[in-house]
A and B are shown apart, each in its own frame.
Chain A
Amino acid sequence: MQKFSFSSAALCPERYREALTDPASGGYASFEGWVRDNNEGKRVLRLEYEAFEELGLKEGERIVEEAIRRFGVQKAACVHRVGDLAIGELAVWVGVSAGHRGEAFAACRYIIDEVKHRVPIWKKEHYLDGDSGWVNCERCAEAAHEHTHDHDHGPVRA
């Protein structure tokens, strides 16, 4: 299986897990990100994910390779959904197999944290009140509009 990929169809963790089995591994950790029906006090009806896939694939693969090297795990992979998602659907999956549980959990955490901050994927939330917005973009644009900055924001954290 590819270390990092995008999917416009529903994710299949059972199938991905099979690809990470390894006789040298004594543990497997995975993370599933699900679509939540609320964010910052607003009721969310559905989500759209959009990706710059050419660069996203390269950056995602770099992250998984970093995790494998850094934590010495056997195998790792990540799949991210794109397109329209309903509440409860699986948005992202990360799996890691390793000799022991400690490095499996650590590598899994590293991959999801880095993917959220580095891979060019954008999330648009559609709200119950009819409004919609790109997460991390709308309020920043408003803030930038309202006053001029003499400081740097640094990376915007999800």
Chain B
Amino acid sequence: MRQVQVRYFAALREQAGVSEEQLETGAATPAELYEELRLRHGMRLPATMLRVAVNEEFVDWSRPLESGDRVVFIPPVAGG
């Protein structure tokens, strides 16, 4: 199990009903973690529409997770 911090923004924050959480997970990658959290919180956005950042950098969905990682799932952006 790993201790990770997850922050949620915009549509995902509203769907999850929380902006940040610390949790213990058996998920080995951000892809596994998102599926776990999507089921728990009932988030409607599929992973195929998101990007993911770990420790404030974009990463691949298959990057191994480590304890202490700060994970952010990034919904479709709309700046400008």
Contacts and interface: CB of A to CB of B under 8 A. Distances in A.
B57 A55 contact: yes
Contacts of A52: 7, 9, 53, 72, 74
A120 B56 contact: no
Given A144-B45, A144-B46, A156-B49, A116 B78 contact: yes
Interface in B30-61: 44-46, 48-49, 53, 56-58
Given A52-B72, A144-B49, A121 B77 contact: yes
Contacts of A141: 11, 44-45, 49
Interface residues of A, number: 37
A95 B7 CA distance: 32
Contact of B76 (A58, A115, A137): A137
Interface string A98-137: 0000000000000010011111111110000000001111
B79 to A, nearest CB: 4
A72 B56 CA distance: 29
Interface residues of B, number: 22
Contacts of A144: 44-46, 48-49
Interface of B: 7, 9-11, 14, 44-46, 48-49, 53, 56-58, 72, 74-80
Interface of A: 33, 49-52, 54-55, 58-59, 80, 91-92, 112, 115-124, 134-138, 140-141, 144-145, 149, 152-153, 156, 158
28 contacts: A50-B10, A52-B7, A52-B74, A55-B53, A59-B58, A92-B79, A116-B78, A116-B79, A118-B77, A119-B79, A120-B9, A120-B72, A120-B74, A121-B77, A121-B80, A122-B9, A122-B10, A123-B78, A134-B11, A134-B14, A136-B77, A137-B11, A137-B75, A137-B76, A140-B45, A144-B49, A153-B49, A158-B78
